[in-house]
Amino acid sequence: MTARYVVRRADDAEFSSTDGIAPGATGFGRWRAVGVEDGSSHTDFGITRLQPGGTIPSHLHSFEESFHVLRGEVVLTTPEATVRLVGGDYGVIPIGVPHSWHGTEAEAVWTDVLSPPPRPAHDWDTYHAPALPSREPMPVDPRDPRTRSFGNITAEHMNPGRQSQELLAVSASMRTALLVYSGISLKMMVDSELGAVLHTMFMVQYEPDGVAGPHDHPLEEAYLITEGEVDATFDGTQYRLQAGDFAWAGAGCVHSFRATGAPVRWVETQSPQMPARHAYRFARDWDYLQEALDEERHD
Protein backbone atom coordinates (compact mmCIF):
# COMPACT_ATOMS: atom_id res chain seq x y z
CA MET A 1 0.00 0.00 0.00
CA THR A 2 1.33 3.43 -0.92
CA ALA A 3 2.19 5.58 2.12
CA ARG A 4 -0.22 8.43 2.85
CA TYR A 5 2.34 10.34 4.89
CA VAL A 6 6.06 10.50 5.65
CA VAL A 7 7.80 11.87 8.76
CA ARG A 8 11.59 12.16 8.78
CA ARG A 9 13.96 13.54 11.39
CA ALA A 10 16.74 15.98 10.61
CA ASP A 11 19.20 13.73 12.45
CA ASP A 12 18.51 11.02 9.85
CA ALA A 13 19.17 13.25 6.83
CA GLU A 14 21.54 11.75 4.28
CA PHE A 15 22.96 14.12 1.67
CA SER A 16 23.81 12.57 -1.68
CA SER A 17 26.40 13.99 -4.07
CA THR A 18 25.11 11.86 -6.93
CA ASP A 19 21.55 13.15 -7.15
CA GLY A 20 20.67 13.08 -10.84
CA ILE A 21 18.95 16.46 -10.75
CA ALA A 22 22.34 18.20 -10.54
CA PRO A 23 24.44 16.79 -13.41
CA GLY A 24 28.15 17.56 -13.30
CA ALA A 25 27.91 19.33 -9.94
CA THR A 26 30.88 19.87 -7.63
CA GLY A 27 30.66 20.58 -3.90
CA PHE A 28 27.00 19.56 -4.00
CA GLY A 29 24.78 17.47 -1.74
CA ARG A 30 21.02 17.01 -1.47
CA TRP A 31 18.75 15.28 1.03
CA ARG A 32 15.60 14.05 -0.71
CA ALA A 33 13.08 14.20 2.14
CA VAL A 34 10.27 12.80 -0.03
CA GLY A 35 9.96 11.84 -3.67
CA VAL A 36 8.53 9.45 -6.21
CA GLU A 37 9.99 6.41 -4.42
CA ASP A 38 7.84 7.25 -1.38
CA GLY A 39 4.69 7.18 -3.48
CA SER A 40 4.48 10.91 -4.04
CA SER A 41 2.85 11.90 -7.32
CA HIS A 42 3.35 15.68 -7.16
CA THR A 43 6.10 16.50 -4.63
CA ASP A 44 9.86 16.05 -4.42
CA PHE A 45 11.02 18.09 -1.42
CA GLY A 46 14.67 18.33 -0.45
CA ILE A 47 17.41 20.31 1.23
CA THR A 48 20.42 21.21 -0.90
CA ARG A 49 23.92 22.23 0.20
CA LEU A 50 26.50 23.86 -2.04
CA GLN A 51 30.01 24.28 -0.70
CA PRO A 52 32.12 27.44 -1.20
CA GLY A 53 33.30 27.46 -4.81
CA GLY A 54 30.98 24.59 -5.76
CA THR A 55 28.94 24.70 -8.92
CA ILE A 56 25.94 23.09 -10.64
CA PRO A 57 26.47 23.65 -14.39
CA SER A 58 23.74 24.89 -16.70
CA HIS A 59 20.82 22.47 -17.04
CA LEU A 60 17.05 22.41 -17.31
CA HIS A 61 14.21 20.22 -16.09
CA SER A 62 10.84 18.96 -17.25
CA PHE A 63 9.52 19.80 -13.78
CA GLU A 64 8.90 23.06 -11.93
CA GLU A 65 11.37 24.04 -9.21
CA SER A 66 11.17 26.53 -6.37
CA PHE A 67 13.55 27.25 -3.52
CA HIS A 68 13.96 29.10 -0.23
CA VAL A 69 17.46 29.89 1.07
CA LEU A 70 17.87 28.91 4.72
CA ARG A 71 21.38 30.26 5.22
CA GLY A 72 24.58 31.21 3.44
CA GLU A 73 24.91 32.72 -0.01
CA VAL A 74 24.70 31.38 -3.57
CA VAL A 75 24.54 32.83 -7.08
CA LEU A 76 21.79 31.61 -9.42
CA THR A 77 21.97 32.33 -13.14
CA THR A 78 18.86 32.17 -15.34
CA PRO A 79 17.96 33.85 -18.64
CA GLU A 80 15.98 36.35 -16.56
CA ALA A 81 18.81 37.47 -14.27
CA THR A 82 21.88 36.50 -12.31
CA VAL A 83 20.98 36.93 -8.65
CA ARG A 84 22.95 36.73 -5.42
CA LEU A 85 20.73 34.81 -3.00
CA VAL A 86 21.03 35.04 0.79
CA GLY A 87 19.01 33.72 3.72
CA GLY A 88 15.32 34.50 3.31
CA ASP A 89 15.43 34.77 -0.49
CA TYR A 90 13.18 32.53 -2.56
CA GLY A 91 12.16 32.04 -6.17
CA VAL A 92 10.77 29.81 -8.88
CA ILE A 93 12.41 28.23 -11.95
CA PRO A 94 9.74 27.33 -14.53
CA ILE A 95 9.77 24.13 -16.57
CA GLY A 96 12.34 24.15 -19.38
CA VAL A 97 14.27 27.21 -18.15
CA PRO A 98 18.08 26.71 -18.17
CA HIS A 99 19.88 27.72 -14.98
CA SER A 100 23.09 27.19 -13.03
CA TRP A 101 24.15 27.54 -9.38
CA HIS A 102 27.50 28.93 -8.19
CA GLY A 103 28.97 28.76 -4.70
CA THR A 104 30.48 31.85 -3.10
CA GLU A 105 32.66 32.19 0.00
CA ALA A 106 30.06 30.69 2.33
CA GLU A 107 28.22 27.37 2.20
CA ALA A 108 24.65 27.80 0.97
CA VAL A 109 21.75 25.70 2.23
CA TRP A 110 18.30 25.89 0.67
CA THR A 111 15.04 23.98 0.56
CA ASP A 112 13.66 23.06 -2.84
CA VAL A 113 10.46 21.54 -4.14
CA LEU A 114 10.24 19.86 -7.54
CA SER A 115 6.85 19.25 -9.09
CA PRO A 116 6.09 16.74 -10.47
CA PRO A 117 8.82 14.56 -8.91
CA PRO A 118 11.79 13.77 -11.17
CA ARG A 119 11.88 10.12 -12.23
CA PRO A 120 15.08 8.07 -11.93
CA ALA A 121 13.99 5.90 -14.88
CA HIS A 122 13.99 9.01 -17.07
CA ASP A 123 17.41 10.34 -16.04
CA TRP A 124 15.71 12.42 -13.36
CA ASP A 125 13.96 14.47 -16.08
CA THR A 126 17.04 16.70 -16.29
CA TYR A 127 18.96 17.87 -19.38
CA HIS A 128 22.34 19.51 -19.89
CA ALA A 129 22.17 22.99 -21.42
CA PRO A 130 24.73 25.42 -22.89
CA ALA A 131 26.34 27.76 -20.39
CA LEU A 132 24.49 31.01 -19.84
CA PRO A 133 26.23 34.37 -20.35
CA SER A 134 28.26 35.60 -17.38
CA ARG A 135 26.79 38.67 -15.69
CA GLU A 136 27.38 40.61 -12.49
CA PRO A 137 25.08 39.19 -9.81
CA MET A 138 22.38 41.51 -8.47
CA PRO A 139 20.55 41.22 -5.16
CA VAL A 140 16.93 40.09 -5.06
CA ASP A 141 14.70 43.17 -5.29
CA PRO A 142 10.97 42.43 -5.73
CA ARG A 143 10.48 45.99 -7.04
CA ASP A 144 12.89 45.41 -9.93
CA PRO A 145 11.11 44.06 -13.06
CA ARG A 146 14.30 42.16 -13.94
CA THR A 147 13.93 39.89 -10.89
CA ARG A 148 10.20 39.21 -10.75
CA SER A 149 10.70 35.46 -10.26
CA PHE A 150 12.30 36.05 -6.85
CA GLY A 151 11.43 37.48 -3.45
CA ASN A 152 12.54 37.72 0.16
CA ILE A 153 10.86 36.92 3.46
CA THR A 154 11.95 38.00 6.95
CA ALA A 155 10.74 37.53 10.52
CA GLU A 156 8.98 40.90 10.23
CA HIS A 157 6.82 39.55 7.41
CA MET A 158 5.44 36.96 9.86
CA ASN A 159 4.68 39.39 12.70
CA PRO A 160 1.14 40.84 12.52
CA GLY A 161 2.19 43.73 14.76
CA ARG A 162 5.04 44.78 12.50
CA GLN A 163 3.18 45.10 9.20
CA SER A 164 3.57 48.41 7.39
CA GLN A 165 3.03 49.78 3.91
CA GLU A 166 6.80 50.14 3.52
CA LEU A 167 7.35 46.48 4.42
CA LEU A 168 4.53 45.17 2.25
CA ALA A 169 5.45 47.26 -0.78
CA VAL A 170 8.58 45.17 -1.37
CA SER A 171 6.93 41.77 -0.99
CA ALA A 172 7.01 39.94 -4.31
CA SER A 173 3.84 37.93 -3.84
CA MET A 174 0.53 38.55 -2.07
CA ARG A 175 1.63 42.16 -1.60
CA THR A 176 -1.36 42.95 0.59
CA ALA A 177 0.14 41.09 3.47
CA LEU A 178 0.00 38.43 6.02
CA LEU A 179 -3.04 36.16 6.34
CA VAL A 180 -3.85 35.80 10.05
CA TYR A 181 -6.48 33.45 11.50
CA SER A 182 -7.01 31.28 14.64
CA GLY A 183 -3.51 31.86 16.01
CA ILE A 184 -1.99 31.06 12.61
CA SER A 185 -0.11 33.43 10.28
CA LEU A 186 0.59 32.58 6.64
CA LYS A 187 2.73 34.46 4.13
CA MET A 188 2.86 33.27 0.53
CA MET A 189 6.22 33.06 -1.20
CA VAL A 190 5.95 31.12 -4.47
CA ASP A 191 2.57 31.12 -6.21
CA SER A 192 0.99 31.84 -9.58
CA GLU A 193 1.77 35.54 -9.23
CA LEU A 194 5.46 34.68 -9.07
CA GLY A 195 5.09 32.42 -12.12
CA ALA A 196 4.54 28.99 -10.54
CA VAL A 197 1.96 26.75 -12.21
CA LEU A 198 2.19 23.38 -10.48
CA HIS A 199 2.82 24.13 -6.80
CA THR A 200 3.07 26.79 -4.09
CA MET A 201 5.53 27.50 -1.26
CA PHE A 202 4.75 29.62 1.79
CA MET A 203 5.77 30.33 5.40
CA VAL A 204 3.50 29.36 8.29
CA GLN A 205 3.72 30.54 11.90
CA TYR A 206 1.64 29.24 14.82
CA GLU A 207 1.30 31.35 17.95
CA PRO A 208 1.22 29.51 21.32
CA ASP A 209 -2.53 28.88 20.95
CA GLY A 210 -2.45 28.06 17.22
CA VAL A 211 -4.48 24.99 16.22
CA ALA A 212 -5.55 23.45 12.90
CA GLY A 213 -8.03 20.65 13.52
CA PRO A 214 -8.13 17.33 11.60
CA HIS A 215 -8.55 17.86 7.86
CA ASP A 216 -7.38 16.58 4.51
CA HIS A 217 -6.85 17.93 0.97
CA PRO A 218 -7.09 16.80 -2.66
CA LEU A 219 -3.37 17.63 -2.94
CA GLU A 220 -0.01 16.88 -1.30
CA GLU A 221 1.60 19.03 1.39
CA ALA A 222 5.17 19.10 2.71
CA TYR A 223 6.45 20.78 5.87
CA LEU A 224 9.97 21.66 7.03
CA ILE A 225 10.07 22.98 10.60
CA THR A 226 12.49 25.92 10.79
CA GLU A 227 11.86 27.17 14.33
CA GLY A 228 10.18 25.82 17.48
CA GLU A 229 8.16 22.63 17.72
CA VAL A 230 4.61 21.51 16.98
CA ASP A 231 2.44 18.50 17.76
CA ALA A 232 1.32 17.03 14.44
CA THR A 233 -1.00 14.10 13.75
CA PHE A 234 -1.06 12.14 10.48
CA ASP A 235 -3.78 9.52 10.00
CA GLY A 236 -4.16 9.19 13.76
CA THR A 237 -0.46 8.94 14.68
CA GLN A 238 0.98 11.85 16.67
CA TYR A 239 4.47 13.28 16.31
CA ARG A 240 6.26 16.16 17.96
CA LEU A 241 8.10 17.88 15.12
CA GLN A 242 11.09 20.07 15.96
CA ALA A 243 13.34 22.44 14.01
CA GLY A 244 14.86 20.55 11.09
CA ASP A 245 12.19 17.83 11.01
CA PHE A 246 10.22 17.13 7.84
CA ALA A 247 6.77 15.72 7.11
CA TRP A 248 4.71 15.04 3.99
CA ALA A 249 0.97 14.44 3.80
CA GLY A 250 -0.37 12.80 0.66
CA ALA A 251 -3.82 13.46 -0.80
CA GLY A 252 -6.46 12.19 1.61
CA CYS A 253 -4.15 11.97 4.64
CA VAL A 254 -6.04 13.38 7.65
CA HIS A 255 -3.68 15.65 9.57
CA SER A 256 -3.74 18.31 12.28
CA PHE A 257 -1.37 20.68 14.09
CA ARG A 258 -1.27 22.15 17.58
CA ALA A 259 1.34 24.55 18.95
CA THR A 260 3.13 23.39 22.10
CA GLY A 261 2.93 26.71 23.98
CA ALA A 262 5.53 28.66 22.02
CA PRO A 263 5.64 30.08 18.48
CA VAL A 264 6.60 27.63 15.74
CA ARG A 265 7.42 28.35 12.11
CA TRP A 266 7.75 26.15 9.04
CA VAL A 267 8.11 26.19 5.27
CA GLU A 268 5.11 24.52 3.62
CA THR A 269 4.42 23.50 0.04
CA GLN A 270 1.29 22.37 -1.79
CA SER A 271 1.41 20.33 -4.99
CA PRO A 272 -0.50 20.76 -7.20
CA GLN A 273 -1.76 24.28 -6.49
CA MET A 274 -4.80 24.56 -4.27
CA PRO A 275 -8.17 24.54 -6.07
CA ALA A 276 -10.40 27.59 -5.68
CA ARG A 277 -13.02 25.61 -3.76
CA HIS A 278 -13.10 22.47 -1.60
CA ALA A 279 -9.37 22.61 -0.87
CA TYR A 280 -9.91 21.80 2.84
CA ARG A 281 -12.13 19.05 4.28
CA PHE A 282 -12.33 19.71 8.01
CA ALA A 283 -13.64 16.78 10.03
CA ARG A 284 -15.43 19.14 12.44
CA ASP A 285 -17.65 20.52 9.65
CA TRP A 286 -18.80 17.08 8.56
CA ASP A 287 -19.26 15.95 12.17
CA TYR A 288 -21.47 18.99 12.67
CA LEU A 289 -23.48 18.09 9.57
CA GLN A 290 -23.95 14.53 10.79
CA GLU A 291 -25.27 15.80 14.14
CA ALA A 292 -27.65 18.20 12.39
CA LEU A 293 -28.96 15.44 10.12
CA ASP A 294 -29.44 13.11 13.09
CA GLU A 295 -31.45 15.78 14.90
CA GLU A 296 -33.63 16.35 11.83
CA ARG A 297 -34.43 12.65 11.56
CA HIS A 298 -35.52 12.53 15.21
CA ASP A 299 -37.72 15.62 15.05
What is the H or E stretch that residue 206 is in? strand 200-206
Q: What's residue 244's pLDDT?
A: 95
Give residue 181's pLDDT band: very low, low, confident or very high (50, 70, 90).
Answer: confident
- Percentage of the chain exceeding pLDDT 70: 94
Count CB atoms within 10 A of the CB of residue 291: 10
**What average pLDDT is seen over the chain?**
92
Average pLDDT rounded to a whole number, residues 10-22: 88
| 147 confidence band (pLDDT: 50, 70, 90) | confident
Let me know: does 242 contact 4? Beta carbons within 8 Å: no
Judge contact between 205 and 259, C-beta under 8 A: no
Q: How far apart are CA 197 and CA 149, in angstroms?
A: 12
